[in-house]
Amino acid sequence: MPSASRSAPRPAALVWLVLAPLLLAACQEAAGLGLSPTTGSAAGEDAPTAVPSLAAVPRASRSGQGVDDIVYDPGQMAELPCHSMDFTIMGRCTAAEVERVATEIRRRVAEGELPGIVEAGKLAEDGEAAAADPVSIETIAAGDAADPERSTTGDGAAEAGAGPRDLGDGVVFDPAAMASFPCHAMGDTLMGRCTEAELRELKAQVLERRATAGATATPMALVQPGDLLPPDAAPAPIAGPQQAVALRSGETYRLRASPARWRVAGATLPAYAYNGQIPGPLLKVRQGDEVDVRFENRIDRSSTVHWHGLRLANGSDGVPGLTQPAIQPDGDWIYRLRFADPGLYWYHPHLRDDLQQDAGLQGVILVEPQDPAYWSPVDEEWVLTLDDLLLEGGRAVGYGRDAANFAIMGRFGNQLLVNGRERFSRLVESGQVVRVFLVNTANVRPFRISFDGAPMKLVGGDLGRVRVERYVDELILAPAERAVVEVAFDEARPYRLLHRGASEPVALGQVLALPARRGPSPARSAFDRLRVDGPISREMAELAPFRERAPDLELDLTVSIPDLLLSRETAANGDPHADDPAHGRIEWEDDMLAVNRASSSDTVHWMIRDRRTGAVNHELAYTFRVGDHVKVRLHNLSDSQHPMQHPIHFHGQRLLVLSRDGQPERAPSWKDTVLVTPGETVDLLLELTVPGAWMVHCHILEHIESGMMFSFQVLPAAEDPPPPLPDVIDSEALPPHADGAAPASDGH
Ligand code: C2O
Ligand code: CU
């Protein structure tokens, strides 16, 4: 039986050895203030842990199973009043508050409730609870009097659509921001559904934080691509459109990243291009081929190339600090590519992708299957990259110089792009069938695509065919995901290429179907058949036992935003998304605007957290062997400070989604990127076929920058190797270290 194993000791344990004495000291200090630490009396005899020792429980030894794991972590959300999320107590707590909150968590669990969020203040005895409310009501009332339109309506929530409202002292309430969320504050902005009482409470919190922090925050320094070039550098050339290039096995292809200018929507933006093209060249190769790429970095910052979805030798994976050094400006590097699987793959930098990929460094690879009948017959094939850019005054909004901005929700663009251009258009003949290979290269935006009523059949995913083809009305594609659809343009008419987000569909371009000169294409009858993939069906039958098996890893997706303030009401009720099943609870647009923009990946901490050990992001360390199958359960926590969807990408291996919220996946296919919506639990099976050190991360580019990643090790197969699979790749030494490549250091 294949198995998962983990390495020890864990880095988390080491971190904890250093932190634990500090936490103990903090706890003792609280006790020294005359607050008597007591034992867990109210929880009854089965209370497993005496409260004063909670803080000393090392995270690395927690089992993640329940009340045994209650810890007090005073370092988390340190500026907030005492509260807990799940089994972690955080904020400014006295020993008595820790005790009360722990008791409440135990009570909830004993009564079969989820622990959720417990706020110490709410548990206080009457009289203690309604303590100080230092904000002056006059400030808000004065604002109201000045504008009768905004007069308060008792405790009712502010009406949606109202403009920002000045609460005095530089604090603003923007009811349009995050209107579907409960009341909260980021920086000096209050947002969400707030009652007047909550506005007063949060304003007081903002002022209090300001007083303790002393100085006001300095705005982030922003940059544009090419900023680091010498001032006398010649103007960069205008980027051309993507060109297809067929690569032969054994050849060495030159791929040069250089500064460029990008004409979009009437503006000319500073940008980067691969071989002068945005997107970069469309590389056409055959399954099983091997090609060397000589990457020449001629942009003004360090870069690498990651070959997204390829199961290639680890040394060519393009992850700085893990599989190679960052390639400094003027450095070169050789990548050896292998194409194990048919379908659509893509390439992009793996360093400050929020800037470099957004600014044009992205390209696609189309791998032609060895089996000529792998895909159904069609009349044409198109490759479409779906992307967006955030433009303002004829430029892209600046990128954080030292860290990514837009760290909370990612950078949603206001200009949608297909193949790097704002208007997509194609001609076909009515009756024709087109196979469309789609990839989402946006920083964060999910696309929901349809062809204006043209029948559409989903035939492929990230790594080749789906197990069972099916007709779909629309297709949701998260960043980095690919889909292969066949579209029948039966009528002679224009078909818009539509994206439907939270509101009305918008057209990304159009396909004009001209009257047919001949009868319907022979591909049309193939379109009417739904094929079942034999090899995947067999693989899935073999893997069926994993469905029932307990997960090897359980990972929570969550966030810590220390700058975020919650009202008591919000803290008590969690921070759920507006539950809209039709949208799959996906965030389609940035509804936080200024706040998201100002948020920095230095201070927003997106996390992948091991549910059993509590280890987070780079603290995670797993070791597997070639031949292992690892069942991973991803929980996207709906009670985090900002629940949103995360496309989780595994490098170098393939995976199958087994189920979502316990429901078997409808059209499974081999994938490398899985969209997990808020509150959702996804079971997936990771198949380990290639040895090396591989990344796992959220593909929202600002979330990578804020740390939402870890890596795992795959050792070569044990002495007794499993029977070879057709497309297993054996291990290989690092590619030759080309001469100009300097050691990793980018200053980011
Ligand atoms: Cu396309 Cu590590 O990513
Ligand atoms: Cu994410």
418-439: pLDDT as tens digits: 999 998 999 999 999 999 999 9
Q: In this predicted structure, what is the pLDDT of residue 45?
A: 34
**Close Cβ partners of 264 (under 8 Å, ≥ 6 residues apart):** 389, 391, 415, 417, 420, 421, 422
Cα-to-centroid distance, 605 and ligand 2 (Å): 10
Ligand 2 centroid–CA 644 distance in Å is: 7
Pairwise pLDDT comparison (108 vs 487), residue with the higher score: 487
d(CA 54, CA 88): 10
Q: Is 299 in the pocket of ligand 1 (CB under 6 A)?
A: no
Measured in Å, residue 600 CA sits from the centre of ligand 2 at: 14
The number of the ligand nearest the C-alpha atom of 408 reads 2
Residue 7 pLDDT exceeds 60: no
One-letter amino acid identity for 202?
A: L
Q: Is 178 left (phi over 0), alpha (psi -120 to 50) or beta?
A: left
Ligand 1 centre distance from Cα of residue 9 (Å): 28
- Alpha carbon of 706 to ligand 1 centroid (Å): 15
The owner of tokens 């929020």 is 354
629 lines ligand 1 (CB under 6 A): no
Distance 353 CA to ligand 2 centre (A): 14
Relative to beta strand 252-264, strand 267-274 is: antiparallel
> Using 50, 70 and 90 to split pLDDT, how confident is the model at 210?
confident
- Residue 673 CA, closest ligand 1 atom number: 1
Is the CB of residue 584 less than 8 Å from the CB of residue 34?
Answer: no
Identify the band that residue 724 occupies on the pLDDT scale cut at 50, 70 and 90: low
Comparing 489 with 593, which gets the higher pLDDT? 489
Q: How many residues does the chain have?
A: 748
Segment (H or E) for 436: strand 432-440
Provide the edge-to-edge strand list for the sheet that holds 244-246: 244-246, 282-286, 363-368, 343-348, 306-308
Q: Sorting pLDDT into bands at 50, 70 and 90, what band is 182?
A: confident
Ligand 1 centroid–CA 278 distance in Å is 18
299 CA to centre of ligand 2 in angstroms: 27
Instruction: Tell me the per-residue pLDDT of 474-516, one tens digit each, with 9 for 90 and over.
Output: 999 999 999 999 999 999 999 999 999 988 899 999 999 999 9
In this prediction, residues 533-558 reach a mean pLDDT of 92
Q: What is the CA radius of gyration of the chain?
A: 27
Cβ 696 under 6 angstroms from ligand 1: no
* Three-state SS annotation for 322-384: CCECCECCCCEEEEEEECCCCEEEEEECCCCHHHHCCCCCCEEEEEECCCCCCCCCCCEEEEE
Burial readout 673-702 (b: 16 or more C-beta within 10 A, e: otherwise) = bbbbbbbbbbbbbbbbbbbbbbbbbbbbbb
The pLDDT value given to residue 80? 64
**703 Cβ below 6 A of ligand 1:** no
Q: Is 651 in the pocket of ligand 1 (CB under 6 A)?
A: yes
- Cβ–ligand 1 contact at 695 (below 6 Å): yes
Ligand 1: nearest atom to the Cα of 309 = 1
Residue 480 alpha carbon, nearest atom of ligand 1: 1
Question: Is 80 exceeded by the pLDDT of residue 579?
Answer: no
Q: What mean pLDDT do residues 619-633 have? A: 96
Containing 29, the helix (H) or strand (E) segment is helix 11-32
Is the pLDDT at 607 greater than 70? The verdict is yes
Atom of ligand 1 nearest to the CA of 319: 2
Residue 157 has pLDDT above 70, yes or no: no
Give the list of residues 6+ apart from residue 523 with CB closer than 8 angstroms, or none. 376, 377, 378, 379, 432, 433
pLDDT for 720 equals 58
Task: Give yes or no for a contact between 732 and 635, defined as CB atoms under 8 angstroms apart.
Answer: no
For range 186-210, the mean pLDDT: 85
Summarize pLDDT for 307-354 with one digit per residue, the tens: 999 999 999 999 999 999 999 999 999 999 999 999 999 999 999 999
Distances (CA, A) of 501 to 264, 299, 321: 22, 34, 37
Q: What's the average model confidence in pLDDT over 461-476?
A: 96
How far does residue 708's CA lie from ligand 2's centre (Å)?
A: 7
The pLDDT score that the predictor gives to residue 146 is: 32
Q: What value does the mean pLDDT take over residues 157-174?
A: 73
Name the DSSP class of 193.
B
Q: Cα(212)–Cα(246) distance, rounded to whole angstroms?
A: 62
Angle at 46 between CA 45 and CA 49, to 5 degrees: 100
| CB of residue 654 inside a 6 A radius of ligand 1 | no
**Relative to the alpha carbon of 409, which ligand is closest?**
2
Please name the residue that has the structure tokens 């991360």: 697
**Burial (Cβ within 10 Å: 0-12, 13-18, ≥19) of residue 88:** buried
* Per-residue buried b or exposed e for 113-136, using 16+ beta carbons within 10 Å of the residue's own CB: eebebbbbbbbeeeeeeeeeeebe
- Report whether pLDDT(739) > 60: no
- Exposure of 555 in the CB half-sphere (CA atoms within 13 A): 29
- Predicted local confidence at residue 180, as pLDDT: 67
Share of the chain above pLDDT 90, in %: 56
Lowest mean pLDDT among 235-239, 305-309, 518-522, 555-559: 518-522
Minimum-distance ligand 1 atom for the alpha carbon of 350: 2
Model pLDDT, residue 213: 65
| C-beta of 350 in contact with ligand 1 (< 6 A) | yes
Residue (of 134, 186, 590, 178) closest to 390 by Cα position: 590
> 679 C-alpha vs ligand 2 centroid, how far in Å?
13
Which has the minimum average pLDDT: 225-234, 359-368, 434-443, 474-483? 225-234
pLDDT, one tens digit per residue, over 67-76 is: 556 777 665 6
CA nearest 202: which of 447, 518, 563, 474? 563
What percentage of residues in the chain have a pLDDT greater than 70? 76
Give the ligand at the shortest distance from the Cα of 646: 2
Q: Residue 702 CA: which ligand is closest?
A: 2
Q: Residue by residue, what is the 3-state secondary structure of 142-155?
A: HHHHHCHHHCCCCC
Look at ligand 1, atom 1, and give the residue with the nearest C-alpha: 308
Which atom of ligand 1 is least distant from the CA of 346? 1
Geometric angle at alpha carbon 368, from 362 and 372, rounded to 5°: 160
- Its pTM surpasses 0.85: no
Cβ–ligand 1 distance for 308 under 6 Å, the answer yes
How far does the centroid of ligand 2 lie from the alpha carbon of residue 36, in Å? 42
| Residue in 727, 695, 670, 338 with CA at minimum distance from that of residue 481 | 670
**Do 315 and 278 meet the contact criterion of CB atoms below 8 Å apart?**
no
How far is it, in rounded angstroms, from Cα 102 to Cα 463? Answer: 47
- pLDDT bin (cut points 50, 70, 90) of residue 81 is confident
- Ligand nearest to the Cα of 308, by number: 1
φ, ψ (nearest 5 deg) of residue 652 = 75, -5
- How much distance in Å is there from the Cα of 7 to the middle of ligand 1? 24
For ligand 1, whether the C-beta of 421 sits within 6 Å is no
Residue 33 above 50 pLDDT?
A: no
Q: Say which ligand is closest to the CA of 648.
A: 2
Mean pLDDT for all residues in the chain: 81
pLDDT(127) > 80: no
**Pairing assessment for the beta strands 424-429 and 506-514 based on DSSP bridges:** parallel
Q: What are phi and psi of 104, to 5 degrees?
A: -65, -40
> Which residues lie closer than 8 Å to 197 by C-beta, 6 or more apart?
155
Q: Is any atom of ligand 1 closer than 6 Å to the C-beta of 649?
A: yes
Residue 565 contacts residue 205 (beta carbons within 8 Å): yes
**pLDDT band, very low/low/confident/very high, at 191 (cuts 50, 70, 90):** confident
Least confident of 79-93, 639-653, 704-718: 79-93
- What pLDDT shows up at residue 14? 34
Q: Is 707:606 a contact under the CB 8 Å cutoff?
A: yes
- Half-sphere exposure (Cβ direction) of 717: Cα atoms closer than 13 Å: 18
Which ligand 1 atom is at minimum distance from the Cα of 709? 2
Does ligand 1 come within 6 angstroms of the Cβ of 480? yes
Is the Cβ atom of 95 under 6 angstroms away from ligand 1? no
Residue whose CA is at the smallest distance from ligand 1 atom 3: 308
- Residue 498 token pair: 């539509």
Identify which has the larger pLDDT, 653 or 63.
Answer: 653
Give pLDDT, residue 666.
78
Is residue 476 within 8 Å of residue 584, measured between CB atoms?
Answer: yes
- The distance of Cα 280 from the centroid of its chain, to the nearest Å, equals 23
The atom number, within ligand 1, closest to the CA of 308 reads 1
266 CA from centroid of ligand 2 (Å): 32
pLDDT at 214: 54
- For residue 209, name the pLDDT band (cuts at 50, 70, 90): confident
Is the pLDDT assigned to residue 274 strictly greater than 90? yes
Kindly report the backbone phi and psi dihedral angles of residue 711, in degrees, each rounded to the nearest multiple of 5, phi listed first: -130, 160
Is the pLDDT reported for residue 403 higher than 80? yes
Nearest to 437 by CA among 507, 385, 476, 389: 385
